[in-house]
Amino acid sequence: MARERSPDLRRLAADGRRLMREGKMDKAREVFLQVLEHLPGERTRARLGYRCGESQIVIRRLKEYPDSLSPNEDLSVEARLALANCCLKCGLVEESIKHLERAVEVCPDRAEAYCELGLAYQKVGRKGLATSALRRALRLNPRLPRAHQGLAQHLVKLERPQEAQKAFRKALRFNPQRHEYYLGLAGCYLQQGQVSEAVKWLQKAVRKFPDTTVVREALADLYQRMGDYCGLLEEAKELIRLNPRNPYPYELLSMACFQGGDLEGAIDSLSRLIYLDPMDPLPRLKLALLLQQKGELSRAMEEYQRIIHISPQGDHAEAAMQAMESLDDFQMEQIIQRAAEDDRFRACLERDPETTLLSRGYRLTEFAMEVLRRLDFGSKPPPEQWEITYH
C-alpha cells in the first residue's frame, strides 16, 4: 500500500501566517493545527472537524498533548503562537500566557513570542512583566513594529509620556513608514499639554501619509479642540475627498462653515450628512436650527416634524417639540401683525389659510392652524388667545 505523503509543513506554516495577517483567524488556526498534527511527537491528537466557533474544542484537546516539543522547534513554536492567539480570541488570557511562556522557554530567541507575551501580560495587569517582555522582544528584533507600538502604548497607560515619546521616536528610526508612531508621538505631547508640538507631528504625518484617513481625522479633531476652523475646514474637505460616504467629515465641515460665518455651506453639509444617514435625528435638529436662523421657517418646521416622526421618544424629539412651540408663536405673531397691516393678505388668509401661509413661506403645526382659524383678523387679539400650549 502506498505510504501517505506528508505535507510540506513549512509551506503550511507560511500559509497560516498569511491568513493571520489577513485577519482570518479561524482558517489560520486550522492550518497550524495541521502543522502540530504532523510534527513528530505531537500526533496524539484525534482529528477534529475544524469549523468556525470550535476554539474551545481546540484548546481542550491541546491540554491532552505531551509537552515534549518536536525536533522542529520553529514550526512548533509557530503553532503555539497561533493557538495562544486562539485562546485570546476566546477570552482565555491566562491559558494564552501559558502557551506563550512555553514558547519562549523552548525558543528564547523568538522576538514575536516575547512581544505577544508582553501584550498578554498587559491584559491581566502584570505591568512589570509586560515591560520586560516587550523590551526583550525589541532587543531581539529592533524592527518589530508590534513590539514598538505595544511598549510605547504601555508606557502611555503607565503615565510615563516622556519614556513613551522616546519609544515612539526609536520606532520611527527603524520603521519610518508607519503612521501609528506619528499618532503616538502626538498623543504623548498632548498628554504633556504641548498642543503645538502635537499639531506639528500630525502635520508631518499628513504630509507623509496624505491618503490615510485616520491621520487626517486626528489632525481635524485637534484643530476642532484648538478652535482652528480654517484648518478644520481644509481637513474636512480632504476627508470627504478620500471617502465621500463617510458621514463624520460632513459633520466637521458643517461646524467649520458655521464658525466661519458660511451659513449656506453649513446647511449644505448637513443636508449631505442627512442623505447618508436619514434616520439620525441629530443632524436634522442642527439643520432645522440653521434654517430657522436663516429665515427659512417652512423648511425648519418640516425638519422638526420629521425628527418627531423618526424618534418620537428621544431627547431630540423633546428639543424639536420645544423649538416648534417657539417657532409657532413667532410665526403667529408675524402673521397677525401682517394681517393687521395688509388687507389683501388678511382676505386671502380668511379665505384659504393653508395655501396662503405656504405661499408666503410659513408652516404651522395643526395646533397652531386651529388657533389661527378661530382668530378674528379685524384686530390683533391679546397674546393669551394665540399662544399655543402643547400637551
Can you tell me the distance from the alpha carbon of 71 to that of 78, in angstroms, rounded to the nearest whole number? 13
Which residues touch 51 (CB under 8 Å, ≥6 apart)? 26
Cell 503553532 locates to 79
Q: What angle do CA 196, 198, 200 make, to 5 degrees?
A: 70
Cβ(220)–Cβ(252) below 8 Å: yes
SS3 state at 263: helix
pLDDT of residue 200: 95
Kindly list the structural domains of the chain, giving each domain's residue range(s) and its CATH number in brackets, ordered by start: 1-108 (1.25.40)
- Cα–Cα distance for residue pair 353/372, rounded to 1 Å: 8
- Determine the Cα–Cα distance for residues 377 and 44; give it in Å rounded to an integer: 96
Provide the pLDDT for residue 377. Answer: 64
How far apart CA 131 and CA 194 sit, in angstroms, is: 26
Low-confidence ranges of the chain (pLDDT < 50): 1-5, 41-55, 57-59, 61-72, 382, 385-391
Residue 162: other Cβ atoms inside 10 A: 11
Cell numbers given for 337? 401683525
pTM > 0.85 = no
CA–CA separation, 272 and 245 (whole Å): 10
Specify burial of residue 209 (Cβ count, 10 A radius: 0-12, 13-18, 19+).
Answer: middle
pLDDT digits 0-9 by tens, 85-120: 777 877 788 888 888 888 888 788 888 888 989 999
pLDDT, residue 72, reads: 47
Judge contact between 150 and 115, C-beta under 8 A.
yes
DSSP, res 313: T
**Cell numbers 497561533 label which residue?**
82
Asked if 114 contacts 145 with a C-beta cutoff of 8 angstroms, the reply is no
